[in-house]
Amino acid sequence: MTLFFFLASCSKDPVEPKYDQNKLAPLSVEFDNIVGGQKLVLNTGSYTNALGQQYNIQLLQYFISNIQVKKADGTIYAVNPDSSYFLIRQDDPATKFARVKVPEGNYTALIFTLGVDSLRSTMDISKRTGVLDPGAGGHDGMYWGWNSGYIFFKMEGIAPDAPADPTGQHKFRYHIGGFGGYSAPTINNIKMISIDLTARGIAQVRTGRSTNIHLMVDVSKALSGATNVSFATNPQVMFSDYSVNIANNYAKMFVHDHTEN
């Protein structure tokens, strides 16, 4: 019994390999979307916001970019930006994982951006491929052609309190973008998210195995917090000053659930 306890303790606190920035190992970050304490189910779920208004969600998509990992001694490794843009889509389970490679090591924090940074947003189109390609449609409707900018967070659904649109549907549409660049110097909805991993399991990244950081993403928080969003008064929020309120809310969506090493 004593021997088993000793072995179990050692397995949870392995010797950390020497940090080598050129020796990369796989790491994935899982974005598990929920609404409050409920699983997010598109079209059929029924939820209630902080104002007591009911709604469902028909579409949810958001960009994750610029992934970094941090060690206890403060060392930070930034994933190559060319491999660090991901579009999380609720209608496609395969997109819930952001898969990157980082040096072997024990990481106590995860840092990433919700949105697309101003540098990448203004790069030549040849540098914006894959999910960022504004021409080939790979962005899945997450690009404003008229504004030459990306939509960072898009959530749409039905809420009875929302006014009827021309089709008679009570829809809400929240398309949040804005990087504070040349087109909109007063709106910057890019949010840097920092997640402490120490309480629920640090990431012990090694070659020969996959480590997964599992995050719960409570999208109901985009509607509540410093600002409680009303479907009745703000059923559609896009490129406007009010979008800042939703961006400030959605910065609080991410919680570390556990790490699989």
Nearest to 253 by CA among 31, 74, 77, 41: 31
The residue that leads in pLDDT, 199 or 148, is 199
This prediction's pTM: 0.89
Beta-strand pair 59-70/109-114: antiparallel
Question: How wide is the angle at C-alpha 254 spanned by C-alphas 37 and 83, nearest 5°?
Answer: 135
Paired residues of 256 in beta bridges: 215
Q: Which residues neighbour 151 within 8 Å (Cβ) at sequence distance 6 or greater?
A: 141, 142, 143, 144, 175, 176, 177
Is the pLDDT higher at 152 or at 136? 152
Tell me the per-residue pLDDT of 73-92, one tens digit each, with 9 for 90 and over. 999 999 999 999 999 999 99
Task: Give yes or no for residue 147 having a pLDDT over 70.
Answer: no
